[in-house]
Structure formats: C-alpha cells, structure tokens
Amino acid sequence: MLLLGKVTTLSEFGEAEAVFVQNGRIADLGSREELGARYPGAPRYTFEAITPGLHEAHAHPQLWGQQLESLDLQGLTEPEAVAQKVAERARQLPPGRWIRGAGYLFRAYPTRRLLDEAAPHHPVYLQSRDLHSAWVNSLALSLAGIGAETPDPPGGALLRDEHGAPTGYLLENAQALVGRLLPAPGKAELKRGLEDLARRGYTAVHHMGWCRFELALALADELPVRLWWALDRDQWLEAPAGWHGDRLEFAAVKFFADGALGSRTAWMLEPYPDGSTGMMLEAPEQIEQEGRRVLEAGLGLTVHAIGTRAVREVLEVFHRLKPWARRPFRMEHVQHVRDAELPRFTGLPLALSLQPMHLLDDAELVRRHQPGREAEAFRLRDLWNTGLPVAFGSDAPVMPPIFELNLRAATQHPLNPRQNLSPQQVLWAHTRGAALAAGWLEHGHIRPGAPADLTLWEGGRPIGRVFAGRLEVG
C-alpha cells in the first residue's frame, strides 16, 4: 500500500511525502510523484501526517483495562466527592460486592468513616492517582482481618488513630493486605487495556509490572501491539528469561527504589514540610545484588526512582553494575533531580523513561511538597541534554495514555519554561527514543527495511495506525 502525507521519518531520510509498505515492512520512501510512478497499482491512502508508530514507554495495561471498568476518580480532590460516587455505585451493586476505583488526589489522608457511611454493606478499595496508597472502609478491613494488632508490613504502613486502630488508609505495601482479596484481573483486562492503546494509535507498549507474564504469553499471537515486558521482581526467577516472539519480549525486571510524591513516599534528600523524607522501598544494596543476577541472566534492569535520594542512589547502583549491562538500564520517572546528580547520568548505558503529563496535575503537588525546589522537578530539557535516550509514557492507569497530554506538558512546562522541549523532541521520545530504551534498534523510525509500524495523524491527533503491515483507521 502507498501512504501519502507529511512523513516524518526520524531517520537519515528526514522528511518525505510517501511511504510504500509491503509484507509488513517499509519498502520504499520518497516524493509523491516518484512513488506514485513506481507503484501505479498500489492502493493509496492520504493522511495529514505519517510518523513512526507511537510507543507508550511506561504503562500497566492490565490495570488500565481494569480501570476502564472501575470507578473513575480522576480529578477528585475532596474525600466527600469520592464518597458520593461510592454511594451511587453501592446503590447499583448487590451487597457484598467489591467497589473499586482509583484516581483521587487528596491533601490529607481521610479515614474510613466517610466510606462506611457511603457503603456500609460493600467492601470498598480505592487507590490514589499514583497507586501508592489506598483508602478502604471498615468492611474491607474486617474481611482482611486487619485490626489494631496487625503489624505494618515491610515497605508499607497502616495509618492508625490514637488508640492504634487502623484508620482505613494504607500506604505502599500495606495496600496488598486488602488488595489481595479483590478478584484478580486476568487476560480479558490485559487485552482490553492493550486494545484501548492500539485504538489511540500506539503500536508498542512497555509493560511496567503488576501483571503475570503467563497472561501475555497466552495472548502472544493475538497481541494488538508489540509488548516490551518488564516483570515484577518477585516473578522473574520463574519466568522464561529472554522469551522473545514477534510481538512480545520478556526483556527486563522492574525494581522500586521509592514511592511517589502524591503519597509522600518519594524518597527525598530534602524533607517534606512535615519533616518526613519519604520511603525507601527496595534498598540500593538489594537492587544492586539482585540486579546483578538479573543482568547475568541476560535481562535488562529497570528501576523506579522518583525522589532526589532515590535518583542519586540508583545512579550509583547503575555505575557499579555497568560492567554487567548488555542492554541499557532504565530509570523510570526520574522526577526530582538535584544539580549535583546531573553529571552522574553521563557515561552510563541508560535510558530515561519520563511521563511529562504528570506535571499537569503534579505542578501543584510539587509546590506543596517541595516548596522552593520546583527547579528540581521534571527536568525534561536538562535530562534531554544528558544525551541519553529519553522515552515518554503515561504510566496508565495513573494518567490516561493520551499523546497530546505529554505534548502539552512537555512543550508548555507548567513549573519551569526553561525545561520545555519541542514538539519534534516529544515525538522522538514517543517513538525512536522509546525504541532505543527498549533495545529495539529496528523500530521507532521510518527507513527501508524497518517494520511497518506507523501512526497516522489528522488535525494533530493520532487517528489510526499501520501495525504489522495492516491499516487500521477509526
């Protein structure tokens, strides 16, 4: 097929006007006239713009698929407003059924009282927008057998009242005490999440944990995107290291150095206004030791690091592990970085996986939690200037996987215009940069011989794609 439009190749071919696709590969590139004359019988399709296929470089597609079906609490900042939504849902569901939801962002941790009033006969489990804390009701606590005598799990905390009784707010790993009771999402949710991404013009997704690899394997032949898979740390030893099909690669293991800013669990060098400095989740020594085994198994190592302390520690771990790296390390989020750490990024085989769109909601959060240190947050241009590959994603379900949100946040930085990137850089980070971060050197650009994974645009928005040689529009 012959695709006509403004073609941005992101390769040595620069711009073109036409792409000829054959057998799932880019077969030829050039001007309208040239290709029109060369392939007179080929079916022709015209679009405003044609780019390499978009990658979503950090997502939890199964949770996204699940979220498409659960209570959407995005944008809610008052516990009362959330409780109202819960009460509405409770009226529709038979007693005893779980009510789940996610997306709220509160200033203070609420207690179970509001949820008990809203849904006395339904267990309720709601997660904050960053998924690093959860709000539950009394029924959920009692089903989980949680009481005053329940100890905090490692890497987590149950908030308690003055008598030591749990208030119904759970931080980090304590969420699992209740979360494990919920019906587990399965293959259907994973598929739904990936199909939604495909409809938004993505051709590749970097899966960042919280889903069992077997589910992806079971879908391997019918995956609607190419899937780069990072496994959770507790699963990697049982999984087939380096498993690689046409649309699925088990490529890396994901570690967590810290939590997130909104839940005040991002691990900081400078304290939050309340004097706390966040949480270390997996100790740097632990990441180094086990990370070395991961690298020796031929896998990649990807580490979640949001706070300044976490970023610093993980950079040093990467420097120590450098001799074992066979593919680029990845740092996920890299949200708060001090000047002192910037030079430590260079000289590493490392890709930076960022989600500028979080700025759209988090600018206010940064001002509140790190007053006076806004310049250290979301340093898009400074990180770009390290010369390392930069890859963009949404962290769906934390934010919806919408390309335009990253475009807006990165070109109109809400905290610091000095950190703005250009639209072309944003496109690169969603295509070629992400492909480099995945270690998929053939992907993310348009050149003869490359797989024909393309995103098609009208009015500045993705409206379709070519995936594995097939045209899908609308």
- Token reading at 129: 């927008």
Instruction: Please tell me whether residue 249 binds Zn ion under the rule CB under 5 A.
Output: no
Nearer to Zn ion, 7 or 105 (CB): 105
Q: Are 242 and 262 in contact, with CB atoms under 8 Å apart?
A: no
Q: Are 188 and 211 in contact, with CB atoms under 8 Å apart?
A: no
Which among 91-99, 286-294, 389-397, 462-470 is the span making contact with Zn ion, rule CB under 5 A? 389-397
Which among 27-35, 342-350, 394-402, 437-445 is the span making contact with Zn ion, rule CB under 5 A? 394-402
Measured from each CB, the residue nearest to Zn ion is: 395
Shortest spacing between CB 228 and Zn ion, in angstroms:
14
d(CA 333, CA 306): 6
d(CA 94, CA 444): 48
Shortest spacing between CB 130 and Zn ion, in angstroms:
9
Q: Out of 395, 403, 431, 465, point to the residue binding Zn ion (CB under 5 A).
A: 395
d(CA 392, CA 334): 12
Nearer to Zn ion, 17 or 395 (CB): 395
Nearer to Zn ion, 330 or 413 (CB): 330
Shortest spacing between CB 84 and Zn ion, in angstroms:
28
- Which helix (H) or strand (E) segment holds residue 113: the answer is helix 113-118
Interstrand relation of 15-22 and 2-8 (parallel, antiparallel or unpaired)? antiparallel
> In angstroms, what CA-CA distances link 371 with 218, 273, 366, 368?
48, 8, 7, 6
Nearest to 431 by CA among 273, 213, 203, 187: 203
Nearer to Zn ion, 172 or 395 (CB): 395
Nearer to Zn ion, 208 or 295 (CB): 208
Backbone angles phi, psi at 268, to 5 degrees: -110, 150
Q: Are 284 and 313 in contact, with CB atoms under 8 Å apart?
A: yes
Nearer to Zn ion, 231 or 452 (CB): 231
Residue with tokens 């024909």: 452
Nearer to Zn ion, 200 or 333 (CB): 333
Nearer to Zn ion, 401 or 433 (CB): 401
Which among 61-69, 95-103, 262-270, 390-398 is the span making contact with Zn ion, rule CB under 5 A? 390-398
Nearer to Zn ion, 7 or 260 (CB): 260
Please report, as residue ranges, which positions from 176 to 195 form the binding site for Zn ion (by CB under 5 A).
none
Q: Calculate the CA dihedral of residues 224, 229, 232, 236 and round it to 10 degrees.
A: 120
425: helix, strand or coil: helix
Nearer to Zn ion, 258 or 395 (CB): 395
Shortest spacing between CB 238 and Zn ion, in angstroms:
22
- Token reading at 343: 């030079």
Shortest spacing between CB 18 and Zn ion, in angstroms:
38
> In angstroms, what CA-CA distances link 252 with 19, 56, 217, 303?
33, 16, 15, 10
Instruction: Please tell me whether residue 282 binds Zn ion under the rule CB under 5 A.
Output: no
- Token reading at 386: 């390290």
Shortest spacing between CB 273 and Zn ion, in angstroms:
26
The residue count for binding Zn ion (CB under 5 A) is: 2
Which among 8-16, 40-48, 340-348, 392-400 is the span making contact with Zn ion, rule CB under 5 A? 392-400
Shortest spacing between CB 285 and Zn ion, in angstroms:
23
Taking the CA atoms of the chain, what radius of gyration do you get in angstroms?
A: 23
Which among 140-148, 206-214, 223-231, 308-316 is the span making contact with Zn ion, rule CB under 5 A? 206-214
d(CA 59, CA 207): 5
Shortest spacing between CB 60 and Zn ion, in angstroms:
6
- Amino acid identity for residue 437 in this structure: A
Which among 68-76, 208-216, 241-249, 418-426 is the span making contact with Zn ion, rule CB under 5 A? 208-216
Other C-beta atoms closer than 10 Å to the C-beta of 450 total: 19
Side-chain-side CA neighbours of 400 within 13 Å: the count stands at 11
Nearer to Zn ion, 70 or 111 (CB): 70
Shortest spacing between CB 352 and Zn ion, in angstroms:
14
Shortest spacing between CB 321 and Zn ion, in angstroms:
22
d(CA 335, CA 380): 9
Shortest spacing between CB 131 and Zn ion, in angstroms:
7
Which among 115-123, 205-213, 377-385, 410-418 is the span making contact with Zn ion, rule CB under 5 A? 205-213
Which among 18-26, 73-81, 200-208, 280-288 is the span making contact with Zn ion, rule CB under 5 A? 200-208
Nearer to Zn ion, 210 or 324 (CB): 210
Shortest spacing between CB 396 and Zn ion, in angstroms:
9
d(CA 393, CA 474): 22
Q: Are 136 and 178 in contact, with CB atoms under 8 Å apart?
A: yes
Instruction: Please tell me whether residue 208 binds Zn ion under the rule CB under 5 A.
Output: yes
The site for Zn ion (CB under 5 A) is made up of 208, 395
